[in-house]
Chains A and B, each alone.
Chain A
Amino acid sequence: MTVLKRCREVMRAARLAVVGAVFLTACSSILDVTLPGKVTSDDLNDPALAAALANGVVITFECAWTSYVAAANALSDEVLSASGQANTNVWGLRGILSNNVNLLDNCDANAGGYAALVPLQQARVLADNAAAKLAAYPDAVVTNKAFLLAQVKTYGAYATLPLGEGFCQQAFDQGPLLSPAQALAVAETRFTDALAAATAASNADLKNMALAGRARVRLDLGNFAGARADAELVTAGYVKNATRGATERQRWNLLYELQNNDGSVVQRHVTIAPAFRDVQWQGVADPRVKVTATGQLSADGVTPWFKHNKALSRSDPVLIASSREARLIIAEAAARGGDLTTARQIINDLHTAAAIPGYDSGNTATQAEIITQIIDERSRELFLEVGARYSDHLRFRATQWNIPFRGEPGSVHPNGVDQRGQQYGTTTCIPLTDAETLGR
């Protein structure tokens, strides 16, 4: 009887415990947590976030663009790798495999390597999301809705440009793998959409930006007439920069931080290549390419450090688009189309602006020679800017104007070994990360 009585007491206690547990579980608020520093996806339905969404696209793109340009510089023949840091050195040695960790970095990791792919995709998707949310918000509650729409579309289009231009293949929204040309075609469509939005918003700045971007995409795609048409509509003197700042890491100018940091020896991952250290035109120093021999060593401790002048602080802006680039697009498109006069004129105009002698042999130059000259002019005019040189490496690859990458025959290191005896890899275009391609 005693046992039975105790069993009953135990059962009663167990029942109480279970009821208590159920009560506590039902009181779900005991597991509620606060999230003071984050915004959930549900929160984005609030129209009050319209400006924040649009700003997010701009800010993310500005970081992404800076990253891409820095990465493009590292791959181009404008610099030599001088990094003592293994991950960064791999970029300089053109040894990027599809499992390279930097291909998965976001902007917060920028100080340690070349993040390009992820931030560009982030900006692109943020732009799409923002455009969709903005479209859904009631007009009456969103100030400057047309401008915001144009802004997110233009920046979103510009984010798509390098994804086609610099990568071996690409994917959007986990869709099919696209060739560079296919990806650039997507970019062109987005620029067209952006142009319409900018026009609807009557915003000249965004319109110029969209035109300059579409001109560049069309040049990449070989649509020279279309490229010229767009470029000719870019207002003279137009300059569009990505703002940079010295505070938050994602706002640092990486052309300075990773490639020109005179305040830190460990951040000098590149030095300027010999061909760009003393650039002259007919014996006159070309002011468009300013390089300083510092007498110091780079981050690897062995390579002399030659410093450029394109970024002298973390807060120096980074060029996105300009009428200078547009003029060179016109020149190239004209030359390609047989209009050598226009091409020559543009070259000479640029020389005049730089206060160096004119393009003397221009009058007798062949189409091929003029295109060669335009490539040279682009390397001077857009030295270390907008990824132009890297773009030219890729655009003219396997053509008569082929620009060899470092380590290839005809380059500064024709035997495949750099100034430190380190072996070059085979990277040309940037491979798409395994995270995108595997497991499909």
Chain B
Amino acid sequence: MAVLGRCFVLGVLGLGFALPVGAQRSLASYSGQTPDRLLEKPALLSVHDVSLTEALSRLSESSGVVVAFSPTLLESDRRKVRCSCRDATVAQALDRLLAGTSFRYTVRDGQVILAPAPAATRRADPGAEPNHELTLAGISDVMGGSVPRLSKVEQDLSVSGSVVDRSTRQALGGARVSVAGSTRSTQSDERGQFRITGLSSGEVTLEVVRIGYQRLVQSVRAGDTDVRLGLIPQVVKLDELIVTGTAGGQEVRALGNAVSRINTAALTEIAPQSNVQAILATQVPGLAIQSAGGNVGSGGTFRLRGASSLALASNPLIYVDGVRVDNNQAANSPRALTSGGFIGGDARYAPSRINDLDPEQIQSIEVIKGPAAATLYGTEASNGVIQIITRRGKTGKPEIQITAKQGANWLPHPEETFQSKYYKSAAGAIVEFNLLRNDEQVGFPVSQYGSCPEPYHQEGDRCKGSPFTTGLSSAVNASLSGGTDVVRYFFSGDVEREEGTVSYNWQNKVSTRANITWTPSEKFGTDIGIGFTRSRLRTQAPMNQPIIVGLDFSCPTPGCEPGRNLPTGADGPFRGYQFVLPEALQNRVESYDDLNRVILNSTFRHKPTSWLTHRLTVGADFGDDRLSGLARRSEGVFRTGYFLPNGARALYYRNTAYASADYGATASFKLGKDLGSETSAGAQYYRKRTTINYSSAENLAVSSLETLDAGATRTTSEDYIENKTFGAYVQQQLSWKNRLFLTGALRGDDNSAFGTNFDFVLYPKFSGSWVLSEEPFMKGFKPISTLKLRGAWGRAGQQPDAYVALQTYRPYSGDAGLTGLTSDNFGNPELKPEVGQELELGFDAGLFNDRIGLEVTYYNKKTRDAIIPVSLPPSTGFAGTRLLNLGEIQNKGAEIAANATLYRSRAVTVDLRSSVSFNSNELESLGAGRAALTATQFNQFHVPGFPVASFFARRVVSSTVTNGVATNVMCEGGDVIAGTGNLSRGGGAPMPCINAPQVYMGGVLPTWQGATSLTVAVGSHLQLFGLVDYMGGHNQRQNEVSATFATFRNSKAILEATDPILMGNIANTFDSRLQLGLMRMGYAKFRDLSATYTFNNSLARKFGASRLAVTASAKNLWTVWQSQTDLFGRRMKDPEVRINGTFFAGDPGGLVGNQQDAWPTARRFLFTVRMTL
């Protein structure tokens, strides 16, 4: 109270500087801000018994007129007020609310500003309430308020405090804080701190401006040292700079296309994420990331705006600080194949290289989505571009930030996730058997291993427990940043350990980054950075997923039922597990992925004249990835049922070197009073080189030996891939009054992978944007505060794989060292890049005084010359496919992103962000004379008129089941699509399955996705965050579900054998079995829930910190909705998991719709402490 009182008294001191109320109204009239228009707007307010602060906030909301005031000053007024002012003007409402107070209002710069009235005026004001005067007098008395004492503050004073985001409460650096009516100003540092000195006593009006935020005008009192300036984020940030490929970047207002920008630093503070993919997955409309599984180290598949290619990878280009880096989504090898199966990392769950980057070192991420926006990036950019901008040092004293995380990962209720199996007893009864429950309750004899292997524990003479554990997660990040106007620095180091849900799945990672910015003059500047990542991942899949395989394939019928003395029986030594005993394998089979990666970037900027900027970016990405697998030779009990009883060793090295050089220049100048011009030109050179060495050995002599030399039979191979691109562009942009922009660009590329008969490719681009809301005729249109219309048309390419244009032969080994040549690649000298062409239209709008932001985009993207892997007729003498530029693929869709402040008061702010995107994918053509192509081995076909890689299979519609055997099995009929062999849209009359066509069963690509998050800021310190994400419209074959019917026959339904569809499918083997596993994969998941508490400064200082925040977060809490939970009673483990398609040859684009051995996503809890020193 004393503080508040002092504030109020100090505020009163400013009365002498203020004008009489009447004069204020007069001043407003002269300000040129049309105050009457603001004040005469409808108030639309109705409040009852609320605080004055809240009433004013609501007035601001309802009327759309910014009412700026100091909550600190108003806090002394604790009266409840009411105002039925729906039909009143803003002025009338203010008069009513402020009646009886010492506050008066004025209009400046389009805002209504509240301030205490001058004392003299107040005394003279006949409307002043006597009791209020008494209160003031009372406070003055408490303060010892004599005139001489008050005069003490009329000295040289300062104001200091912090600038924060009013929604997220994050500190905001780079905000310009100035004193209205004076030249005094400063800029907040990275911690948001500011200080302005040289002020006279009394009230001052601060004006705060920062890109991306609404301008704030707030009255404070000189001498205040803890002023908190809460900026309201602009919902449409027109002045934000976006990296677009040209030398200087572009303001959002000039862009004709949508670019998603993620403030990574802010997001990770309120909802810490384990990797970059997790950040991107929910933040970018139109970007679908399908997780490869819930184990530590798994990556996922990227796809921006649908599938644009049938043959090439779907991953967007990734740049780190302007340098192109390895963007493989699943960079690991295919599993090392040995006689007994696989050892080494499982490529289905391999890491994505983007996750090598440490989120704590990233400032922001920009996602450029399609060809219309990515034209300047050229021949590899039609899948979009992801720009990662790492953190930079800010001018100021050295600042140390320390972040510590501690948490846990676990699988909730694994015995339900891995469902019970069933067998028939000797009496014919169907008996449920849950292997995990059996392990908990019955276990196995200690004598089996001599002691209980972890994580089982001993109970009497038996080992009991679960093979799953709770993995710990911990990380420490420290950064040092600061600098002068000439040199700024940012150093960061991160050490983390993440453990999965089994003891043999963990990752240790060290990431460091050093960024130096050197700006010796206004004309020249340099950014130099180096990032290093060292990681050791013990993969969850040392050999064919021991636990998953053992559980998914467990308890086959017949074979599981007790009493048959079978090893796989529930009462046998394998306890019902199939093939493998997880606890026996977990320490006998190991697989590691060891990575060392260095990313170097250097950018040299030069601005020789006021109108010319040019820059050169040179950088490289060196990766050294070593995958090793070891299956020790096993003896005794470990040998039974073991895939590799004789042991095996595999080593796989992938060495990558990406080098890039990018030069660009931009000339900007005025062509007239309102007409501006910006001309850009540039050239890029990229080289990618990958060397792969693979060696394996089998039949290790004894169990203690672990190296390749220990193997009796050894193999080795080496591969080398090189690709180079050279491209150049020119772009011209014209602007009118800085609100209408027209841009045209042309880029040309040549690439080493193009066919010898194809020279180079040109990509044009046109775009326009119009900031409509800044047009004079829109000024009075209150509901829309910001409106930008935009449109873009452009092309970008996707290059073919290295060497595929050439006809090649490769060495082949024969008997006794005999070597020969065999056919390898058929080649195509005419091969050229496929070209994505896209039209994008949309608008960005800020509505209701920027309370609601809306970004709406429609796109129509067509891939021409789509490279199609046409299976070679075997009679050519070549295997595999030949790439031809034949196809046309269309992706149409819409992306809608909205953010809204649902509620804003001094105490609570509730922000909603929501996005949803839709995509309609259709293969339009496969070229003349080709009606269908087999896409994958899982009944997926490319058929014009359908989404790419659609499922086609015979669909059983009825059968007659007698004694468990289906007869008279009928399938859906339909006209066969000409030239496809046996594919049909379906819809025909049922017919015997043997003669039935394979009918369309659905697509594999998600058709809709999005996320909704709610951020609730309570007071100045507490933030709550929750996020739900969703995806749907796609299908996937769940092979582990199918197998329980068709292979292991251990589901309840198959043992009951009464369902006519199920039994009809069993009777009709082959492709109709797809129906037994094909499921709709739509889901909505409660992904994130977190609470962040930022301690006040005084408490933080007790810990030696200037800022201290703690966050408790939970992830993957609940699957809110699933479009299909089960099939004939069998549930899928996790609807969001999709294995990496790179496991399957010919599917770099991730179109394979088959799931087997899925690891469900783990639930995660994390406690984070952030401290700034």
Q: In this assembly, does A237 line the interface, its C-beta being within 8 Å of a C-beta of chain B?
A: no
- With A243-B815, A264-B643 given, is the CB distance from A438 to B981 under 8 Å? yes
Q: How many A-B residue pairs have C-beta atoms within 8 angstroms? Tell me.
A: 287
From the candidates B566, B726, B931, B934, name the one contacting A30 in the complex (CB within 8 A): B726
Q: Are A30 and B685 neighbours in the complex by a CB distance under 8 Å?
A: yes
Q: Given contacts A243-B814, A243-B815, A251-B813, are A24 and B1070 in contact (CB under 8 A)?
A: no
| Contact with A264, one of B339, B979, B981, B1049 (Cβ below 8 angstroms) | B339
Complex contact B1047–A84 (CB within 8 A): yes
Nearest CB of chain A from residue B433's CB, rounded to whole Å: 15
Chain B CB within 10 A, most for which of A32, A175, A264? A264
- The 8 sampled A-B contact pairs (Cβ below 8 Å) are A3-B671, A10-B667, A17-B730, A122-B874, A171-B873, A247-B713, A249-B337, A261-B340
Q: Which of B776-828 contact A (CB under 8 A)?
A: 802-803, 806-816, 818-825, 827
- Extra inter-chain contacts (4) besides given A17-B665, A37-B720, A59-B812, CB under 8 Å: A37-B718, A121-B877, A297-B559, A436-B874
B611 close to A6 (CB less than 8 A): yes
Stretch at the interface among A91-99, A278-286, A351-359, A392-400: A91-99
Q: Are A57 and B820 in contact (CB under 8 A)?
A: yes
Point out the residues of chain A lying under 8 angstroms from B876, CB to CB.
121, 125, 173-174
Within 8 Å by CB of A59, from B568, B714, B730, B813, lies: B813
Q: When the two chains form the complex, which single residue of B337, B339, B671, B760 contacts A261, counting CB atoms closer than 8 Å?
A: B339
Chain B residues whose CB sits within 8 angstroms of the CB of A111 once the complex forms: 337
List of B residues within 8 angstroms of A38 by Cβ: 803, 806, 808-810, 824-825
Contacts of A421 in B (CB 8 A): 1049, 1066
Given A14-B730, A41-B808, answer yes or no on A248-B556 (Cβ-Cβ < 8 Å). no
By the criterion CB–CB under 8 Å, are A31 and B752 in contact? yes
A10 to B170 Cα, complex, angstroms: 43
A173 — nearest CB in chain B belongs to which residue? B875
Evaluate contact between B877 and A122: CB separation under 8 angstroms.
yes
Contact partners of A414 in chain B: CB under 8 A: none
B643 touches A266 (CB 8 A): yes
A55 close to B877 (CB less than 8 A): no
Chain B residues positioned under 8 Å from A426 (CB to CB)? 994
How many angstroms between the C-alpha atoms of A135 and B827 in the bound complex?
A: 25
CA distance A354 to B750 in the complex (A): 69
Report yes or no: A105 in contact with B879, Cβ–Cβ below 8 A: yes
Considering the complex, give the chain B residue whose CB is closest to the CB of A435. Answer: B871
B809 in contact with A41 (CB, 8 Å): yes
Q: How far is the CA of A296 from the CA of B937 in the complex (A)?
A: 30
B646 at the interface (CB under 8 A from A): yes
Complex contact B818–A246 (CB within 8 A): no
Closest-by-CB residue of A relative to B669 is: A6
A3 — which chain B residues lie within 8 A by C-beta? Answer: 669-671
Q: Does B603 contact A (CB under 8 A)?
A: no
Instruction: Pick the 7 closest A-B CB pairs, nearest first.
Output: A125-B877, A55-B820, A56-B820, A106-B879, A264-B340, A243-B815, A435-B871
Tell whether B1067 is near chain A: CB-to-CB under 8 Å: yes
Q: Within 8 Å CB of B937, what residues of A?
A: 87, 101
| Docked CA distance A106–B877 (Å) | 10
Q: A33-B722, A175-B875 are in contact. Are A25 and B750 (CB under 8 A)?
A: yes
Q: Which A residues are closer than 8 A to B by beta carbons?
A: 3, 6, 9-10, 13-14, 17-18, 20-21, 24-25, 30-41, 43-44, 49, 51-60, 62, 84, 86-87, 90, 93, 95, 97-99, 101, 103-106, 109, 111, 117-119, 121-122, 124-126, 128-129, 170-175, 243, 245-251, 257, 261, 263-267, 297, 300-302, 314, 420-426, 433-436, 438-439
A314 partner residues in chain B, CB cutoff 8 A: 339, 713
* B557 and chain A: residue at smallest CB distance: A302
Pick the contact of B821 from A56, A106, A433 — CB < 8 Å?
A56
Contacting residue for B812 out of A17, A21, A60, CB 8 A: A60
Structural contact, A59 and B556, CB atoms closer than 8 A: no
Whether A44 and B809, one on each chain, are in contact in the complex, defined by CB atoms closer than 8 angstroms, is: yes
Contact assessment for B872 and A435 in the assembled complex, using a CB-CB cutoff below 8 Å: yes
- B residues 550-576 with Cβ under 8 Å of A? 553, 556-559, 566, 568
Given contacts A37-B719, A247-B813, contact A104 B879 (CB under 8 A): yes
The complex places the Cα of A53 from the Cα of B809 at a distance, in Å, of 10
A98 to chain B, nearest CB (A): 7
Closest to B1043 in A: A84
CB-nearest residue of chain B relative to A105? Answer: B879
Asked if B604 lies at the interface with its beta carbon under 8 angstroms from chain A, I say: no
A31 touching B751 in the complex, CB below 8 Å, given contacts A122-B822, A264-B339, A297-B568: yes
B803:A247 contact, CB within 8 angstroms: no
Residue of B557, B579, B641, B875 near A172 (CB, 8 A) is B875
**Quick check: A17 and B681 within 8 Å, CB to CB?**
yes
Whether A10 lies near B873 (C-beta < 8 A) is: no
Q: Give chain B residues whose Cβ lies under 8 Å from the Cβ of A56.
A: 809, 812, 820-822
Q: Would you give the 0/1 interface string for B695-735, flagging 1 where the beta carbon is closer than 8 Å to chain A?
A: 00000000000000000011100111011111010100000
- Give bound CA distance, A304 to B557, whole Å: 13
Closest-by-CB residue of A relative to B645 is A263
Q: In the assembled complex, which residues on chain B have CB atoms less than 8 Å from the CB atom of A265?
A: 340, 579, 641, 643
Cα A137 to Cα B299 in complex, Å, equals 52
Q: Is the C-beta of B341 less than 8 angstroms from some C-beta in chain A?
A: yes
- Tell me which residues across on chain A come within 8 A of B339, comparing CB atoms: 257, 261, 263-264, 267, 314
Our pick among A14, A37, A422, A434 for the contact of B679 (Cβ within 8 Å) is A14
Q: Closest CB of chain A to B132's CB: distance in Å?
A: 62
Bound complex: CA A424 to CA B1070 (Å): 9
- Of B559, B750, B879, the residue contacting A302 (CB under 8 A) is B559
Q: Is B176's CB within 8 Å of the partner chain A?
A: no
By a CB distance below 8 angstroms, the chain A residues around B1145 are 109
Kindly state the separation between the CA atoms of A233 and B724 in the bound complex, as whole angstroms: 59
The answer on a CB contact under 8 Å between A126 and B720 is no
Contact in complex: A59, B810 (CB < 8 Å)? no
Tell whether, in the assembled complex, residue B815 and residue A433 are in contact, meaning their CB atoms are under 8 Å apart: no
**B822 lies within 8 A of A34 (CB):** no
Chain A nearest CB from B933 CB (Å) reads 9
- List residues of chain B with CB within 8 A of the CB of A58: 814, 818, 820
Chain B 334-348 residues near chain A, CB threshold 8 A: 337, 339-341
A17 to B643: give the CA distance in the assembly, Å: 62
Chain B residue numbers with a CB within 8 Å of A87 are 937
> Whose C-beta in chain A lies nearest to the C-beta of B983?
A99
Q: Roughly how many angstroms separate A117 CA and B645 CA in the complex, as a whole number?
A: 33
Contact of A439 among B810, B821, B930, B1069 (CB under 8 A): B930
Residues of A within 8 A of B873 (CB): 171, 174, 433, 435-436
> Measured between C-beta atoms, what is the minimum distance from B1087 to chain A in Å?
34
**Any chain A CB within 8 A of the CB of B271?**
no
Residues of B within 8 A of A243 (CB): 814-816
B981 contacts A35, CB within 8 Å?
no
**A270–chain B nearest beta-carbon distance, Å:** 16
From the candidates B645, B683, B875, name the one contacting A121 in the complex (CB within 8 A). Answer: B875
- Once the chains are docked, how many angstroms separate the CA of A103 from the CA of B930? 19
Contact (Cβ within 8 A) A52 B821? yes
Inter-chain CA distance A148–B774, complex, in Å, is: 83
Q: How many Å from the CB of A163 to the closest CB on chain B?
A: 9
The reply to whether B559 and A301 contact each other, CB–CB distance below 8 Å, is: yes
Q: Are B823 and A122 in contact (CB under 8 A)?
A: yes
Query: B644 at interface (Cβ–Cβ under 8 A)?
Result: yes
Q: Which residue of A lies closest to B821 (CB)?
A: A56
* A109 vs B880: C-alpha distance when bound (angstroms): 11
Contact at B679–A31, with CB atoms within 8 Å?
A: no
Within 8 A of A (CB), among B875-904: 875-880
Q: Which residue of B lies closest to A266 (CB)?
A: B341
Q: Which B residues touch A32, using CB under 8 A? A: 724, 752
For B825, the closest partner residue in chain A by CB is: A38
Q: Mark B140-180, 1 if CB is under 8 A from A, else 0.
A: 00000000000000000000000000000000000000000
A99-B931 Cα distance, complex, nearest whole Å = 14
- Say yes or no: A10 contacts B679, CB within 8 Å: yes
Asked whether A30 and B724 contact (CB < 8 A) given A17-B730, A439-B930, the answer is yes
Q: Does B652 sit at the interface, judged by CB under 8 A? A: no
Q: Which residues of A contact B556 (CB under 8 A)?
A: 300-302
